[in-house]
Amino acid sequence: MDASEILIEPSALKRALESGAILIDARKAGEFKKGHIPGAMPLSTYDSLVSDSSLENMRKFAQSMADRFSSVGVRLDRPVIVYDEHTGMRAARELWMLEYIGHRKARMLHGGLAQWQAEGGPVLDDTDIATVRPTKIPVSIASGCHVPIDEIARRAGSWNFYVIDVRDDLEWAGTDDTPCCKRRGHIPHAIHIEWTEFQENGRYKSPEKIVALLEAHGINLRQEIAAYCHRGARSANTYYALKYAGVPGARNFIGSWHEWAARADLPIA
């Protein structure tokens, strides 16, 4: 996948907006009014966790996400650009959601707001939000970007299927205090590479460095790779890092540890 299909540089953002692209500020609530890119609309689905990644439930989830995006004017025929403070997990999760519901013209601002400002881009601190008329988005689920929990459970440890845990060291070791999960640890056979290892200076590392990182952990890039974290945000960021590096078999486990830990029938390490 060409980088231009995933990322847009600040130097090209103004031109994209002038051509009708929709800009989404995916940062935490309250950050928008402190300063945002002109023309942006605040929206975050970060707190919409997936507790059941079965096909039937994901169809319902996709429609609910489509309705959220529609509320800020998203349509399938208009390009969408999402941004975070840097190349962050929140923007990546929104980008993944857009891909999953079938949007083919969505990208993430490489380097985020910080890169935009570093290159002289203007920032507004007003709270005026444009009024839009929502339109029903016809969802066309792109299942190729998602791996469901039952497939993880069935294939983890197989020679042709790698599972990457991109959480921090405490979460991996099961010594964190995440309140919503009664069970802690990691998925058996997973490989631990924290999501920040795929980045430097708020941007993705070069494709060559990302490939070298994966190979250093014994990952065969010709096989399938499933990334997970806690809610599918950091893993979405890693998913796009892998796509950016040209890894063809990457997918995101959107249910992530939140879903896995709630299943008492599944093992933990």
pLDDT tens digits, 161-184: 999 999 999 999 999 998 899 899
Specify the pTM.
Answer: 0.96
- What pLDDT does 129 receive? 79
Architecture per CATH, domain 3-142, reads as 3-Layer(aba) Sandwich (3.40)
Tell me the pairing of strands 203-204 and 199-200.
antiparallel
> How far is Cα 181 from Cα 178, in angstroms, rounded to an integer?
6
Region 22-39: mean pLDDT is 95
All CATH 3.40.250.10 domain ranges of the chain, comma separated, are: 3-142, 147-262
pLDDT tens digits, 186-226: 999 999 999 999 999 999 999 999 999 999 999 999 999 99
Read off the tokens for 76.
């399938």
- Sheet containing 250-252, strands listed edge to edge, beginning at the edge strand earlier in sequence: 191-192, 161-165, 224-228, 250-252
pLDDT band at 55 (very low <50, low <70, confident <90, very high): confident
pLDDT band at 130 (very low <50, low <70, confident <90, very high): confident
Q: How many CB atoms lie within 10 A of CB 164?
A: 25
- What pLDDT does 1 receive? 57
Closest by Cα among 8, 2, 3, 4 to 22: 8
pLDDT tens digits, 82-102: 999 999 999 999 999 999 999
Fold (CATH) for 147-262: Oxidized Rhodanese; domain 1 (3.40.250)
Q: How many CB atoms lie within 10 A of CB 154?
A: 11
> How far is Cα 206 from Cα 194, in angstroms, rounded to an integer?
17
> How far is Cα 60 from Cα 80, in angstroms, rounded to an integer?
22
